[in-house]
Structures are given as C-alpha cells and as structure tokens.
C-alpha cells in the first residue's frame, strides 16, 4: 500500500513574489522549488547560452572545417528515442548548413551493443568517413574512439552520460557532465547537447560568411525544437528551468503544426490531437513507438520517420512503428508474468522479505524489452531492479532502474571497484543504467548487488510514498483550472505534474476495456467523472466500497466536441 504525503505547504514569504499567479499555482510552484516568476518563464531569452559548454567552440570549428571542405560525416547515434532524435537533429541541421556528405549509422543493439564500438567502426568504414560525430553516446567508448582514430578519422563526441575516470581520446568532447565543465545545467539530454553544438556551429559558419558565399538561407534553429522536446521528454532527464524552456518551445511548434510530419503521424495514430499536445503525449505516445523500433528491430526505421518531410511516407512508417509497439507490449506482458512468478517464489523462500536490490534473469527474455520490465518491477516493489537477458555467446545484458536515494550508476561503479572484473562494462545515469556481465556470474552478482544496495538504502527509502499537492476545493474542479494546470508545465521528471488527493463518495463504478476502472465520484455538490487505468481486477470493482481516498490528476476529457473535467486516478484506497 502506498503512503500519501502532501508536499510542503506554500511558504507565505513567497506570496508577494507570486502575487500575479493563481493561488493554486503559487502552492504548486513553491513546492517544486520555484522561487521567482523567472523560473517558469519559457522564453528564449532565459535559455542558457552555449558558450560555457566545455569544448563547444572547438567542436564548432572542426565541424565548420568539415562542411566547408566537403568532408564526409557519419553521425553515430543510439538506439533509443533520445538517440533517434539526436541523430535526426544532427542530420537535418548539417544538411541545412550546406553539408553535402552526411549520413548516419545506429548500432543494432543485438549485433554491436551500445555506442561507438570497434565493431561499429568496422561497419562505418563502408561510408569512408572523414569525421565521426557521436550523439547521445561516446563518452564511455574508449576502444571505439581509438579504432576510429587509428582509421584516420576526426572524432567529435557529443554526449550527456556520466564519464568514467578517464575520457576517450577524441578530437573534442562536448558533454556538460565531463569534469570541469562550467555549463550550469547538467541535465541536458543527448538531443539537447547536439542542439547546442549546432547552435554554436551556425554561429561559426555565420562568422565565416558561409551562408552568404553559398547563397544559402540562414537556418532557423527553432525548427529543430520539436525534436529537442521529444528527445528531452523521452529520456526522462530532469526538467530543470533550461530543459523546460526547450520542451515548452518545442511543444509550441508542434501545436502550431510547425513540426516534422513524423511526430504528427505518430500522435494522430494514437488519436492524439497535435494542436493540444502536452509533454506526456511525447513520452507515452511518440517516444514509446520510436523506442519499439530500437527494442525489437532497428532504430534506423524510427530515424527515417523523423527525417522524412513526406507526410505520406511518415504515416506509412508510423504504422510500422505502431505494430512494433503492439508486439513489444505483448512480449513485455509475458515477461512481466514470468518475473512476478519468480518474485513470488523468492518471497516465499525468504519468508516474505525481498532483497532491497532485485536482479532477475531468464534465458527466454528479450534483450530489447528488459529496460521496460525493470521499470515496471521497480514501480511495483519500490526498490532498485536489474533485469538481465541473454547477450552474445556467454554474456548477459542488464538494464537497471533505481529509486530516489540510490544513484544506480555510482552503485555499479562501486561494485566494479570492489569486485574487479565482475562487470564487463557499464554506464548510465542516477536512475537508469546498463551493464554487461558473464552468464556464469549472474547469481553471484545478484547477491553482491543486493548487499551493496542494502548498505546504501535506509528503511525510509523503501517506503512507497506518493507525493501530492493536497486537496482541491469543490470550486476548483472546473475546466479553467484544468486548462491552467495543463499550460503551467511542461511537467515531467523532477518537475512532476500536479497530483492531488481527497476523499470522495463512489456514485458509480464499472470496468471498461477489460482493464480500466470508470468512476463517478461525489464531493460536496460536485459529481466528477474519473478513470483509473490498469487496476487490479482482484480488487476492483468493489461494490462494497462506498467511499475512497484517491490521488488524482485533473484532466480534460474531449468527446464528440465536448470538453469536461475528468480525474486521472493514480491511487485508490477504500475507506
């Protein structure tokens, strides 16, 4: 059972500063550490300048030299949505700058693994490149960079993942998380980093009068913000003030129809109106279908969807991506059943107490889906999880997800230091990471992981708490407030969408679509529609329950041209 905790109350000393805001927004923003109105202004004027990114001027100069010398460039991406958007953005930008020889190469996760590996360098030789530009990868690819340099290529790394103690010997690295980088925000996604590099490159080419000489229009960088918004939301990086600007501006372009056909096609395929798109639509609709390509097939398909300017072709690719996503869901469902069964057996063996760090492995599991499964198990049991699947030969690939209080990449680094050779390779962020180990050490690793996690997590870290923004008054259940909250974001990682909690009378309850609970709730003189998705069918509907304590988000339901307030219920507790 979850514990509902109300976020800290709005501090009265901020009242004067926020006097122009609706009282509800005052409370919400203050609980998210917004101290001044400027923190929620989403204008370009407030975007952090690129100049403080370490290495960005050198990267811009190298890429400008490559364009003006008509050198061949290969963009090396990653097989997730951040990598796909980063790749598409780099290709689109470079071509708009006048680059004639630009192509991309994305490693198939099953054949090459992650990033610029030596195997991928061999594959890249077919393009005879002069310059390799990595996007959303490269900071951990020492051997791959060495192989590329040995081939005589210039290597430009753009990445946002955490670096190891040593850096690859690239010509230049742009990564806000590398040592001694003064860039104020460390939360840029991979697509945010390459966007900043392209901003600097545009400025460098302007200083060389390149566009004027070639009679090219000066590229409008705002045209790339739909891709920046999509990749930023998809990668679950914290939406700090800078990232919120990038996402907000990208959403504005999408809503205005000033975006690439691929994004519109993927939204429309899921019956989402692009003119009302919000950040969660990018994550749960567009990114999910892009990621399906990288999980089950080849992310090149997703990148082509983001590169085409042909609406018909975009819709054709979107349909294929949608089919892959349906297949992914089916595979994930089967894997989840197997995982929960294994955890039931483990719970019985341990007399009801699961380890604080969970490791799961099955010979039949699909490598492309283990990240989603790890997230599902983490959410259900509220503890760090690593899910493994067979890799090449005697290796297994792992995908890790963590909870607040445990930095998962640092935990893997600690294990690597204490048990040299146990982990073959690893990398990632605070909340998500990937690793490779030998098949014959899975059980030993599981024990070590559980022990290390147990030493780092206190009991309170394992409490499954849901933070809420308190109650709404009966008068606040209206379309104006719901619209205000929708526009007050963008909401996302580390800047969560407002969740409220209250007690309601149940006036009606029924199951829809075989898995969702449709409710009519009463509060004071208000009757409000609500829906709880993917409820436990063993518990709901519960016709003996007449009242509930619910945690919910205020939403707008649009049906046959009519708009009404609807609650999206995240948690239900019978009273």
Q: What is the pLDDT of residues 203-261, one digit of tens each?
A: 999 999 999 999 999 999 999 999 999 999 999 899 999 999 999 999 999 999 999 99
Domains in the chain: ranges and CATH? 51-321 (3.90.1640.30), 354-462 (3.10.310.30), 469-574 (2.40.50.460)
Radius of gyration of the chain (CA): 24
CB-based burial label for 439 (10 Å; 0-12, 13-18, 19+): middle
Q: Is residue 20 scored above 70 in pLDDT?
A: yes
d(CA 531, CA 535): 10
Residue 514 pLDDT: 84
The secondary structure of 462-493 as a DSSP string is GS-EEEE-----GGG-SHHHHHHHHHT---BT
Residue 429 pLDDT: 81
Residue 294 pLDDT: 87
The pLDDT confidence band at residue 9, using thresholds 50, 70 and 90, is: low
Residue 545 pLDDT: 92
d(CA 263, CA 81): 12
Q: Is residue 149 scored above 50 in pLDDT?
A: yes
Residue 2 pLDDT: 62
Which span out of 292-296, 348-352, 408-412 was modeled with the highest average pLDDT?
A: 408-412
Mean pLDDT (the chain) is: 92
The pLDDT confidence band at residue 536, using thresholds 50, 70 and 90, is: confident
Q: Is residue 121 scored above 80 in pLDDT?
A: yes
Residue 93 pLDDT: 98
Question: What value does the mean pLDDT take over residues 467-473?
Answer: 92
Q: What percent of the chain has pLDDT over 70?
A: 96
Triad 217, 222, 223: Cα angle to 5°: 70
H/E segment holding residue 48: none
Residue 459 pLDDT: 85
The pLDDT confidence band at residue 12, using thresholds 50, 70 and 90, is: very low
């Amino acid at each position: 059972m979850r514990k509902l905790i109300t976020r800290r109350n709005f501090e009265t000393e901020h009242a004067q500063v926020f006097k122009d805001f609706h009282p509800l927004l005052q409370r919400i923003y203050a609980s998210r550490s917004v101290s001044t109105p400027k923190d929620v202004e989403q204008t370009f004027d407030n975007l952090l300048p690129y100049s403080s990114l370490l290495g960005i001027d050198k990267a811009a100069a190298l890429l400008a030299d490559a364009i003006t010398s008509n050198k061949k460039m290969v963009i090396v991406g990653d097989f997730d949505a951040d990598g796909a958007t980063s790749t598409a953005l780099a290709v689109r930008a470079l071509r708009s700058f006048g680059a004639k020889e630009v192509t991309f190469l994305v490693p198939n996760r099953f054949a090459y693994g992650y990033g610029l590996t030596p195997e991928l360098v061999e594959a890249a030789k077919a393009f005879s490149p002069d310059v390799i530009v990595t996007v959303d990868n490269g900071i951990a690819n020492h051997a791959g960079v060495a192989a590329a340099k040995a081939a005589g290529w210039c290597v430009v790394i753009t990445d946002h993942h955490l670096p190891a103690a040593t850096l690859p010997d690239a010509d230049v690295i742009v990564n806000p998380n590398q040592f001694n980088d003064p860039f104020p925000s460390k939360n840029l996604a991979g697509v945010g980093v390459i966007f900043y590099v392209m901003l600097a490159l545009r400025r460098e080419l302007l200083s060389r009068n390149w566009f004027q000489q070639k009679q090219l229009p000066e590229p409008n960088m705002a045209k790339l913000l739909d891709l920046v918004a999509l990749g930023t939301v998809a990668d679950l990086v914290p939406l700090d003030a800078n990232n919120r600007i990038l996402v907000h501006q990208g959403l504005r372009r999408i809503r205005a129809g000033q975006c690439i056909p691929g994004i519109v096609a993927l939204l429309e395929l899921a019956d989402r109106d692009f003119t009302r798109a919000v950040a969660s639509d990018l994550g749960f609709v567009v990114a999910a279908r892009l990621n399906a390509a990288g999980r089950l097939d080849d992310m090149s398909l997703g990148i082509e969807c983001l590169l085409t300017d042909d609406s018909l072709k975009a819709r054709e690719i979107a349909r294929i991506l949608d089919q892959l996503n349906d297949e992914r869901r089916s595979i994930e469902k089967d894997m989840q059943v197997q995982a929960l069964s294994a955890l039931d057996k483990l719970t019985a063996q341990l007399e009801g107490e699961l380890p604080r760090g969970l490791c799961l492995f099955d010979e039949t599991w699909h490598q492309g889906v283990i990240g989603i499964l790890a997230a599902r198990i983490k959410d259900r049991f509220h503890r760090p999880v690593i899910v493994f699947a067979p890799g090449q030969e005697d290796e297994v690939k792992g995908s890790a997800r963590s909870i607040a209080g445990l930095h998962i990449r640092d935990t893997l680094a600690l294990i690597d230091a204490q048990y040299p050779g146990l982990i073959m390779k690893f990398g990632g962020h605070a909340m998500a990471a990937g690793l490779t180990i030998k098949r014959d050490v899975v059980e030993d690793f599981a024990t070590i992981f559980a022990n290390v996690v147990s030493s780092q997590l206190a009991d309170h870290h394992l409490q499954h708490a849901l933070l809420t923004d308190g109650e709404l008054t009966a008068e606040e259940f209206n379309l104006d407030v719901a619209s205000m909250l929708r526009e007050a974001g963008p909401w996302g990682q580390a800047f969560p969408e407002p969740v409220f909690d209250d007690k309601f009378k149940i006036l009606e309850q029924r199951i829809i679509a075989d898995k969702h609970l449709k409710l009519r709730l009463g509060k004071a003189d208000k009757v409000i529609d609500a829906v709880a998705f993917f409820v436990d069918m063993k518990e709901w509907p519960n016709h003996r329950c007449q009242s509930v304590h619910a945690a919910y988000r205020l939403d707008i339901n649009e049906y046959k041209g009519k708009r009404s307030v609807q609650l999206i219920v995240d948690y239900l507790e019978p009273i």
